[in-house]
A and B are shown apart, each in its own frame.
Chain A
Amino acid sequence: MAGKGIRIEGLKKRYGSGDTAVDALKGVDIQVAPGEVVGLVGPSGSGKSTLLKCLGAVIEPTAGRMTLGDEVIYDDAWKVKDLRALRRDKIGFIFQAPYLIPFLDVTDNVALLPMLAGQPNAEARSRATELFKALDVEHRARAMPSQLSGGEQQRIAIARGLVNRPPVILADEPTAPLDSERALAVVKILNQMARQYETAIIVVTHDEKIIPTFRRIYHIRDGRTEEEAGEGRDI
C-alpha cells in the first residue's frame, strides 16, 4: 500500500471570486516519501489548515496536482470519484484533540474504519489489536475513551489513523495538548509507525518542542511553501 508517498505540485486554492477573492494557497510543492515524517510549520493564517483540507480531500483545490502512492488524485480537478472512500482508505487523520467517538470503546474506535471499508468485524478488531501492541496500549483495548489519559487517547487516535494502512497520514497539531515528554513520545511513535508501515506522515505544527525532531520541514508563508533541512534530533 505504501507506494510512493505523496507528491504535491503547484497546488493553489482561491476562496471567493472577483475583488473579494483570497488566494490561500499560491503554489504549494511538497513531497514526502514512504516511511518519512516531515513537519509543516507556519504562522496563523499562512494557509496550513487550507492545505490540510485540500490534502484531506475535504475541500477542492483551485489548481495543481496531487499524487498519492501511484495514483493521481487531483490534476486541476478531482480524478477520484468517491472522495469519501479516498479519505477512508488512503488518508489517515490525526487531529489536534484525539476526537475519539465517546460511545465506542477503544477497539471499536479504531476498528470502525476497516469496518466502514467492508472488512469483517473480527478482522477489523484484529488489526486494531495489532496496532495496540505496537503502540503499547493493548491493556486499554476495552476501555472507553473517557477512561484514558491524554497520551493514551492520542495513541489510540494514531492507531485509528494507521489502521487502514494509508499511504499518507495528515497529523494536525497532534502534540498541542501534550506536555514535552508526551509530545516527544508521540513524535517517536509517529516515526516508528511511518517506518513500520511505510507511511508518509505530514505533521502540521508550531510546537517548538517537536520541530527539531524533523529531518525535513516545509515552511508555509503567505500561501507558498519553502523546504528546509531540519535538525533531525534523535528522541
Chain B
Amino acid sequence: MISLAGRDIMHAWGKFVFTGMGLGLLIGITLSMAGIYRGMVDDGKALLDNSGADLWVVQQGTLGPYAEPSSIYDDVWRGIRSMPGVARTANVTYLTMQVRQGERDVRTMVTGVTTGEPGTPGWPPYLVAGRQITRDHYEAVADIASGFRLGDHLQIRRSRYTVVGLTRRMVSSSGDPMVFIPLRDAQEAQFLKDNDAIHQQRQRTIVNPSFNRPGAPGVLDAVIASQSTNPFVNAVLVQIEPGHSAEAVAESIRRWKRLTVYTRSQMKEILIGKLIATSSRQIFMFLVILSIVSAAIVAFIIYTLTLGKIREIAVLKLIGTKNRTIVGLIMQQSIALGLIGFVVGKISATLLMAPIFPKYVLLEPLDSVIGFAAVVVICILASIVAIRAALKIDPAEAIGG
C-alpha cells in the first residue's frame, strides 16, 4: 500500500516545509525556554561548585548568603577553623552591583575573597588567562562573560581595580558574571558611605554627650573609628577534612557558634528550590503556553489542510478506503509537520537562539528527547479535530445532487 500522507506531503512539500519552519521557530523558542531553566539551575550549581565550600556559615536564621542578606563578624572564621573536622575556612562577601569600565557598566556579582593560595574557599578554581589576586588591594579577577579583558581598569565604588586574571563559568545564580576582589576592598565597597553621610554621622556622634564626655577623650575617637570600619562579612566558607561528615561538622558549628550552617545539598535546595523557584514557575508557564500555542497552530494547519481535501476524502471513502487509512493520512501529516518543526526548532535553538540569549541556555539531550516526544504527542492530539472532520465527510459528497 502506498503512503497517502507521504505522497500528499511530497506533492505540496513547499507548503509543508515553510509551515514546518514557522512551527519550528516556535518549538525553538520552547526548547530555548527549557534551556534557560536548565541554565539557571546550572548557574546555581556552578556557583556552589566553584565556591569550593562544603559548608556555608551564615547569620543565624537567614538563608544567606545568596538568597538573603547575611552578616557575621569577620573573625568568626578563626573559631570555626579550630573545630574538629574543619580543614579550611575563608571569609567571603557577595555584592551584586554595576561595575563601570570606561564608558560602559556591567552587572556583576562582586565577590570579596581572602588573599591566600589557589584552593582557598571562595577563590575561582581555575583561570583561562592571567593570574590570581596576589595583592591585598585593587586587583580583580573577572569572569570572561563580563567582557572585561586583562589589564582593563574597573571602577567599583570609589576605587579603581586592574583585571589581572580571567575565569570562565563563574556566575551568580541569576547568571551575572562574577568579579573577584580582595576581601578588605569588598567589605569597604559593601558598607562605604558617601562623604556627606560620613561627615553628618561624625557630627551626630560629636554632639552626642554619651560619646563626647568631658574627661574621656578616647571614647569619641573609638566610636568614630568603629563607625568607619566594617567588621562584617556575608559568610564563612568551610572545607571539611576527608573522612568527616559534613552534617556532623555543621551540627557542631550550629551548636557551639550559634550560627546557621548549610551543607551543599541544603544550599542547593535554597538556590534551586527557593531562589529560582519563581523564575522556574514562570518558565514552566511559558512552556505550557507555548505548547498550547504550538498545538493550536498544528491543529489549525492540519484542519485547514484537511478541509482543502474534502472532495478527495469523499472520493476515497466512496471507493472503499477504510477510516483508519484516512486517519493515518491525517495523523501522519500532522506528525510529519511536527518532525519538520522539531528539526528546525532544535537547529534554531542550538545554533541561532542559544548563542544570542543573554542568559546561559543549557540544551540537554534528555530535554530534546522529551521535547521530541511532546511534539509527537501534541501533533497526534492536534490532528484529532481534523480527523473528526474527515470522518464526518459523507462519501455521498463525491456524487452530485
The answer to whether residues A116 and B319 also contact, given A52-B401, A103-B8 and a CB cut-off of 8 A, is: yes
How many Å lie between the Cα of A160 and that of B318 in the bound state? 12
**Minimum CB–CB distance for B302 against chain A, Å:** 15
Contact indicator A59/B396 (Cβ below 8 Å): yes
Cβ-defined partner of B320 (8 Å) among A48, A85, A101: A85
Describe A's contact surface by its main secondary structure: helix
* B1 on the A face (CB < 8 A): yes
Q: Mark B135-149, 1 if CB is under 8 A from A, else 0.
A: 000000000000000
How many Å lie between the Cα of A96 and that of B315 in the bound state? 12
**Minimum CB–CB distance for B323 against chain A, Å:** 8
* B228 on the A face (CB < 8 A): no
Q: Mark B89-101, 1 if CB is under 8 A from A, else 0.
A: 0000000000000
**Minimum CB–CB distance for B61 against chain A, Å:** 71
* A14 on the B face (CB < 8 A): no
The answer to whether residues A87 and B319 also contact, given A102-B312, A108-B7 and a CB cut-off of 8 A, is: yes
Contact indicator A49/B400 (Cβ below 8 Å): yes
* B376 on the A face (CB < 8 A): no
How many Å lie between the Cα of A59 and that of B12 in the bound state? 34
- Considering only CB atoms, which chain A residue lies closest to B315 in the complex? A99
* B222 on the A face (CB < 8 A): no
* B156 on the A face (CB < 8 A): no
The answer to whether residues A103 and B7 also contact, given A87-B319, A88-B319, A88-B320 and a CB cut-off of 8 A, is: yes
List chain A residues, Cβ under 8 A from B8: 103
The answer to whether residues A104 and B2 also contact, given A116-B320, A116-B321 and a CB cut-off of 8 A, is: yes
- Considering only CB atoms, which chain B residue lies closest to A47 in the complex? B401
How many Å lie between the Cα of A137 and that of B396 in the bound state? 29
List chain A residues, Cβ under 8 A from B401: 48-50, 52-53
List chain A residues, Cβ under 8 A from B325: 116
Contact indicator B12/A103 (Cβ below 8 Å): yes
List chain A residues, Cβ under 8 A from B311: 99
* A79 on the B face (CB < 8 A): no
Contact indicator A52/B399 (Cβ below 8 Å): yes
How many Å lie between the Cα of A83 and that of B321 in the bound state? 11
* A36 on the B face (CB < 8 A): no
- Considering only CB atoms, which chain A residue lies closest to B323 in the complex? A84
How many Å lie between the Cα of A53 and that of B318 in the bound state? 10
Contact indicator B318/A93 (Cβ below 8 Å): yes
Contact indicator B322/A116 (Cβ below 8 Å): yes
* B11 on the A face (CB < 8 A): yes
The answer to whether residues A56 and B319 also contact, given A99-B311, A104-B7 and a CB cut-off of 8 A, is: no
* B10 on the A face (CB < 8 A): yes
List chain B residues, Cβ under 8 A from A173: 400
* B395 on the A face (CB < 8 A): yes
Contact indicator B315/A101 (Cβ below 8 Å): yes
List chain A residues, Cβ under 8 A from B11: 102-103, 144
Q: Mark B310-337, 1 if CB is under 8 A from A, else 0.
A: 0110011111111001000000000000
Chain B, interface residues (CB within 8 Å), range: 20 to 34
List chain A residues, Cβ under 8 A from B10: 103
Among B10, B316, B318, find the residue whose CB has the most chain A CB atoms closer than 10 A: B318
Among B322, B325, B394, B399, find the residue whose CB has the most chain A CB atoms closer than 10 A: B399
**Minimum CB–CB distance for A15 against chain B, Å:** 13
How many Å lie between the Cα of A173 and that of B400 in the bound state? 9
Contact indicator B315/A53 (Cβ below 8 Å): no
* B398 on the A face (CB < 8 A): yes
List chain A residues, Cβ under 8 A from B317: 84
The answer to whether residues A95 and B319 also contact, given A104-B7, A108-B7, A115-B1 and a CB cut-off of 8 A, is: no
Among B11, B321, B394, B401, find the residue whose CB has the most chain A CB atoms closer than 10 A: B401
* A29 on the B face (CB < 8 A): no
List chain B residues, Cβ under 8 A from A99: 311-312, 315, 398
How many Å lie between the Cα of A117 and that of B284 in the bound state? 49
* A58 on the B face (CB < 8 A): yes
How many Å lie between the Cα of A115 and that of B4 in the bound state? 12
Contact indicator B322/A84 (Cβ below 8 Å): yes
**Minimum CB–CB distance for B297 against chain A, Å:** 23
How many Å lie between the Cα of A59 and that of B401 in the bound state? 13
**Minimum CB–CB distance for A131 against chain B, Å:** 15
Offer 26 A-B interface pairs, CB within 8 angstroms, sorted by A: A48-B401, A50-B401, A53-B399, A56-B318, A56-B399, A58-B399, A86-B320, A87-B318, A87-B319, A88-B320, A93-B398, A95-B398, A96-B400, A101-B312, A102-B11, A103-B4, A103-B12, A104-B2, A108-B2, A113-B319, A113-B320, A115-B1, A116-B320, A116-B321, A172-B399, A173-B400
In addition to A88-B321, A116-B319, 6 A-B residue pairs with Cβ atoms within 8 Å of each other are A50-B401, A58-B395, A84-B320, A95-B400, A101-B315, A116-B322
Q: 10 closest Cβ contacts across the A-B interface?
A: A88-B320, A49-B401, A103-B11, A103-B8, A58-B396, A87-B320, A103-B7, A99-B315, A84-B320, A96-B400
Residues of B in contact with A (beta carbons under 8 Å apart): 1-2, 4, 7-8, 10-12, 311-312, 315-322, 325, 394-396, 398-401
